[in-house]
Amino acid sequence: IKKIAVLTSGGDSPGMNAAIRSVVRTCAYHNVECVAVYRGYQGMIEGDFKPMNARSVNNIINRGGTILKSARSNDFRTPEGRKKAYEHLKEQGIDAFVVIGGDGSFTGAMIFSEEFGFPVMGIPGTIDNDIYGTSFTLGYDTALNTVVEAIDKIRDTAISHNRLFFVEVMGRDAGHIALNTGVGAGAEEILIPEENLGLERLLESLERSRLSGKSSSIVVVAEGDKIGKSVFELKEYVEQNHPDYDVRVTVLGHIQRGGRPTCFDRVLASRMGVKAVESLIEGKSNYMVGFTEDKIMLTPLEKAVKGKSEIDRELLRVSDIMTT
Ligand code: F6P
């Protein structure tokens, strides 16, 4: 392997820059050339490349977003698109690429690698933490901290006005952010895509805590919660059944995706970048770098894409106990 490309793909997440930096510097350390691809797979198809050296990634470890920009490329889903991308990589003399992204990005890498026998490595970058083969994805820890900080602020108003707040957090298909921030911020209830709590139980639980002396409550709701109601519909439902409740809604949205990465995400990114490049140099391909049980390890991309990252049942129980 003489030349490695690096790209970020799919939704951005804090820590992606630290991972780019790590890939670039590990290449420099091993005297392997490194090329950046801008705008994810779309940039690969359009030949948007830039040579990188150790100094190209100065002062980015602390920055959110991705200096390489990111995109969700529909063209890369087509054989013609992927062929163009392959031709550009060959023109540039690139032997392998590292893609930092989520499962959609890994599926693209896998198909590409099978079609052209091209070596690829994945680094999991998404705030959702919904990838099999790693206990933590890049950006997840930062997002958790952003959400908890926001809910702490909302709690001030909830307490001052005796209000019930529904706080919507990200996670279309995964409840990791909701569950962990719900426990971390002391939420009354947590609604996630993996479990249907049911509207009745939600009302019962709110009523129970009111009778036990609580005068305000926070309910954390994942975007894709199983009850299937938006936070605004939940507000209406509760108001209809309990006109005496003073209900408000906050949708945290994309503030969860931005901001300075936490130390945890920076260190994780640094470790993952080293492993990705060194694994390619060792001749490995088609893997995702993960972090499980305090170890950096590889999982075949196929498993990472097909496997399911389970919700932590033990934590669900902890959450139930905490709302007593
Ligand atoms: O996958 C990351 C994520 O932030 C999800 O939690 C969310 O559902 C989605 O991306 C939002 O995507 P977009 O930024 O394209 O609206």
Q: Pick from 100, 168, 170 the residue to mutate for probing ligand 1's pocket: most ligand atoms within 8 Å of its CB.
A: 170
Which of 146-160, 218-232, 267-281 has the lowest average pLDDT?
Answer: 218-232
pLDDT in tens, 291-310: 999 999 999 999 999 998 99
Supply the mean pLDDT for the chain: 97
Among residues 310, 279, 43, 23, the alpha carbon closest in space to that of 138 is found at 23
**Which residues have C-beta within 8 Å of that of residue 147, sequence separation ≥ 6?**
169, 177, 181, 185, 252, 256
pLDDT at 257: 98
- Output the six-digit token pair for 72: 């969700």
pLDDT at 214: 93
Q: How far is CA 230 from the centre of its chain?
A: 21
Q: What is the DSSP string of 143-205?
A: HHHHHHHHHHHHHHHHHHHT-EEEEEES-SS--HHHHHHHHHTT-SEEE-TT----HHHHHHH
Using CA atoms of 298, 178, 212, 317 in order, give the dihedral in degrees to the nearest 10: -20
Q: Pick from 12, 13, 103, 128 the residue to mutate for probing ligand 1's pocket: most ligand atoms within 8 Å of its CB.
A: 128
User: Is the pLDDT confidence value at 323 over 90?
Assistant: no
Mean pLDDT value of segment 118-147: 98
Taking the C-alpha atoms of residue 133 and residue 300, their distance in angstroms, rounded to an integer, is 9
Calculate the alpha carbon distances from 254 to 14, 146, 184, 226 in Å. Answer: 12, 11, 20, 21
Among 12, 103, 128, 130, the active-site one is 128
Shortest-distance atom of ligand 1 to CA 177: 6
What one-character DSSP code corresponds to residue 124?
E
Query: Which stretches of the chain are assigned E, i.e. beta strand?
Result: 3-8, 33-37, 49-52, 96-101, 120-124, 164-169, 189-191, 217-222, 247-251, 287-292, 295-300
pLDDT at 225: 87
How large is the ipTM? Answer: 0.96
- Output the six-digit token pair for 234: 């939940």
Residue nearest to atom 8 of ligand 1 (CA): 172
Q: What is the pTM for the complete model shown?
A: 0.97
Backbone CA torsion sign across 237, 242, 248, 253: negative
Mean pLDDT value of segment 36-51: 98
Pocket of ligand 1 (CB under 6 A): 11, 102, 126-128, 170-172, 223, 257
- Output the six-digit token pair for 281: 């140099």
Mean pLDDT value of segment 118-132: 98
Taking the C-alpha atoms of residue 286 and residue 38, their distance in angstroms, rounded to an integer, is 21
Mean pLDDT value of segment 31-51: 98
User: Is the pLDDT confidence value at 159 over 90?
Assistant: yes
| Annotated catalytic residue 244 | no
User: Is the pLDDT confidence value at 25 over 90?
Assistant: yes
Taking the C-alpha atoms of residue 252 and residue 250, their distance in angstroms, rounded to an integer, is 6
Taking the C-alpha atoms of residue 3 and residue 312, their distance in angstroms, rounded to an integer, is 40
Using CA atoms of 154, 314, 229, 152 in order, give the dihedral in degrees to the nearest 10: 0
Which of 174-178, 201-205, 224-228, 316-320 has the lowest average pLDDT?
Answer: 224-228
How far does residue 170's CA lie from ligand 1's centre (Å)? 7
Residue 275: CA atoms inside 13 Å, Cβ hemisphere, count?
A: 20
What one-character DSSP code corresponds to residue 286?
S
pLDDT in tens, 249-269: 999 999 999 999 999 999 999
Calculate the alpha carbon distances from 215 to 158, 164, 212, 232, 300 in Å. Answer: 9, 9, 9, 21, 50
